[in-house]
Amino acid sequence: MNQFLRPIRSFVHRQKKLSKCQQLAFAALSEQNTLSTPINFKILFERDAYTILEIGFGMGDSLLQQAQQHPENNYLWIEVHRPGIAFVLTQIEKFKLHNIKIIYADASEILARSIPNHSLDLVQIFFPDPWPKTRHHKRRLVQAKFIDLLHEKLKLNGKLHLATDWQDYAQHMLKVMENTSQWKNTAEKNQFTPRPLARPMTKFEKRGQQLGHAIWDLVFQTL
């Protein structure tokens, strides 16, 4: 038996060719965002502030708006989609945003080795890949082991905000979160929460609503 088993990934690399501008922006990322292990957020952002971790921001347009509207917050974004990262980097430069840091890596690995325990105020995971086929459900990001890891990284009374437009995945998320005593549902038990105004509306979500697609939000707090 192979003793070096590869971990199950919650993503696959579906990469598009980057423009020259995006290539330059992406190349600069490794130079500008060389992170220590573990990360010291006070040093990284050069201040002590409410810190939000976003996992999987796609093209990031709505989240850029969130960062612009709330300059008082620190935003750490983890993504593996290179075109999205490159686009966000160009926008960070364009609008001179200093409250965003990006990591190009697997979120599970970064959380395990680089994020200090009890250091995050909020974790956001919006519209993760639902992996709809039953044989692929093991690839879904929201699993009990991953949720336990997030709990370690959040402060006491820190929050986890999940959102999906895939009903089966929404039910899966709810079951995973309710099957632990470490979290409190900010809505009633076994209930989804109305869409929080703080969650930015994405182009993807607007298009889905026009087609009649439902959105499910979950907000849980650490105990």
Return the active site residues. 129
Burial of 13 (0-12, 13-18, 19+ CB in 10 A): exposed
Q: Are 85 and 102 in contact (CB under 8 A)?
A: yes
Please report the DSSP string for 86-111 in residue order. HHHHHHHHHHT--SEEEEES-HHHHH
Please report the DSSP string for 118-175 in residue order. T-EEEEEEES-----SGGGGGG-S--HHHHHHHHHHEEEEEEEEEEES-HHHHHHHHH
**Nearest-CA neighbor of 127 among 191, 206, 216?**
216
Say how many CA atoms lie within 13 Å of 9 toward its Cβ. Answer: 7
From the DSSP assignment, how many helices (H) and strands (E) are in the chain?
Answer: 8, 7
